[in-house]
Structure 1
C-alpha cells in the first residue's frame, strides 16, 4: 500500500494515476471527504496525530507533500513520526529547486525526512509548467500578464515527469538516500513560456513587467501568511537573478527518456486557456 498525500493536487493526482496504471494499491490522504476512483481515501490532517496514524497504517511507502499556511516544518515532522511508528519503509518528499538555499522553508522541511532513519528520496523540481494555468482567466479576458521574474530562466518541468520519478522512487529501492533536481529539457523565461502559449493558442498575449514588491502585496491581499509571502518573494528574486538557471539529466536517467518539453505540455492543456 502506498500513501499519497496531496492526492488531489498537481503532482499527487498524477502520482495516483500512474500508480494505479501500474496496478499498485493506493491510499489517498485528504482533509475532506473525497472520492477518487480506484483509491482508498482516508480522512486525515497533519495537525491530528491520531488521524495520521490511521493514514499510514499498513503502508509501505509515502509520497509526502506539505504546504502549510505558515512556513513551518511541523507537518513534515508529524507525518514522519507517524510513518516510523507504523513501520513505513520509505518516504518520497516533494521539495523544490530552492531546497538548496540555506534557511529556506523547503530545505528545513526536507530535514525530518532525511533524519527519519527510513529510506528517503528528495525531489527538487524547477518551476512547474502547470504554474501557467493560474494565468488562464487573464488570458481569456485579455488582461496583460505580470512578469515578476524579468529575464530569469529555469528548467520548466511537466508535473507528469515529477510524478513519474516519484513513482519510481516509491516502488523501488534504487533511489533511496538520493536527492534529485528535476528539470525540463530547456531553460525558459516567463516571456518564452508566454510566446509558446501564443503559438499554441494562435492569439496574442500581452505582458508587462511587475515589481517584486507588488507581487508580495498581491499575495498578502489574497490572504497569504506574511512569512509565506516572504519565502515566495525570495524564490522569485533568486529566479530573476538567474540562480535557478540549471538543467539536469536526472529525469532522463531515471525514466530512460527525455523530459516532456513545455510546448508539449501547452498543447496537451490548450483547452484550459480557451
Structure 2
C-alpha cells in the first residue's frame, strides 16, 4: 500500500493517475474529504496515524504556507510508528547549498536528514521550477497583462511535472532507485522570459513579462532559494529523468502545447 500525500496537487495528482493506470494499490491523502481518499492534516497527529496505518511506502509532499520542516517531521513520526518502510520525498533543487550566508532549501534539507536518520528506505526528488508554474499567471495571460518575472536573466532547466511524477512512481514501485538523490531537470535551460516567449508562440497571442523587483515580502527561505536561482545556481541540466524513465525529458514547449487550452479565456481550472 502506497500513501500519496498532496494527492490533489501539482505532482501528487499525476502520481495518483499513474498508480491508478497501473492498478497499484494506494491511498490518496488530502485535507478535505474526497471519494476514495483519506482525510488527514499534517497538524493533526491522529489523522496522520490513521493515514499511514498499513502503509508500506509514502510519497511525501508538503507545501506549508511558510517554509518549515514541521509537516514533514510530523508525517515521519507517524510513519515510523506505523512501520512504514520507504519514503519518496519531493524536495527541491539546490537544497543544502549555501547562498549569502543562508542554506538553500533548509526545510527540505532538514526533512531529508530526518528521513535518513529515521531508518527508512528513501529516494529524494529535487526538481527545479515546474513548467506548470506558468498556470499561476493564467488570469494575467488571459487578460493580456504582463506576468511577474522573479528570476530575471538566470536560466533553469524547467521540468514537466508529469516527468517528476513518473520518476516518483518508479521509485515507489521498485527498489532500483533506493538511496538516490535525483535532480530532475528538463532538457534545456530557459529564462522566464524565454518561457513566456514559447508560450506566446503556442498561444498565438502576446505574453509579456515584467520585473517582479525586490523579494522583501517573501519568507526568508523563499528569498534565499530565489536569490540562489537568480545567481545562476540552478543553471544546469542532468540526465536523471531519461536515465530513470528510459526516454527524453519533456520540453517546456511540449508542456505548453499540451496545456494550451488552460490559458484560453473562460477555461476551467486544470
**TM-score for the superposition, normalised by structure 1:** 0.91
- Secondary structure of the residue aligned to 2:43 is coil
1:273 aligns with 2:269: no
Matched, 1:251 2:237: no
- Structure 1's unaligned 5+ residue stretches are 220-228
State how far apart, in whole Å, the 2-side matches of 1:182 and 1:153 are. 15
Alignment of 1:187-266 (within 5 A): 187-213=189-215, 216-217=216-217, 219=218, 229-266=219-256
1:73 Cα deviation after fit: 1.7
Aligned to 1:74: 70
Write 1 or 2 for the structure with the bigger share of helix. 1
**Aligned 8 A contact 1:98 1:107 in 2:** no
Deviation at 1:237, TM superposition (A): 1.4
Does residue 42 of the first structure (1) align with residue 44 of the second (2)?
A: no
Distance in 1, matches of 2:52 and 2:118, equals 15
Aligned position for 2:26: 26
Q: 1:17 maps to what in 2?
A: 17
**Contact persistence 1:129–1:159 (CA under 8 A):** yes
SS in 1 for 2:66: coil
- SS of structure 1 residue aligned to 2:166: helix
Consecutive unaligned residues of structure 2, counting only runs of 5 or more, are 265-270
CA distance in 2, matches of 1:266, 1:237: 26
Aligned residue pair count: 258
Whether the 8 Å CA contact 2:67–2:222 is kept in 1: the answer is no
| Aligned partner (choices 155, 159, 162) of residue 160 of structure 1 | 162
Structure 1 residue ranges, 4+ long, deviating more than 3 angstroms after superposition: none
Deviation of the 1:115 alpha carbon:
1.5
CA distance in structure 1 between the partners assigned to 2:10 and 2:234 by the alignment: 21
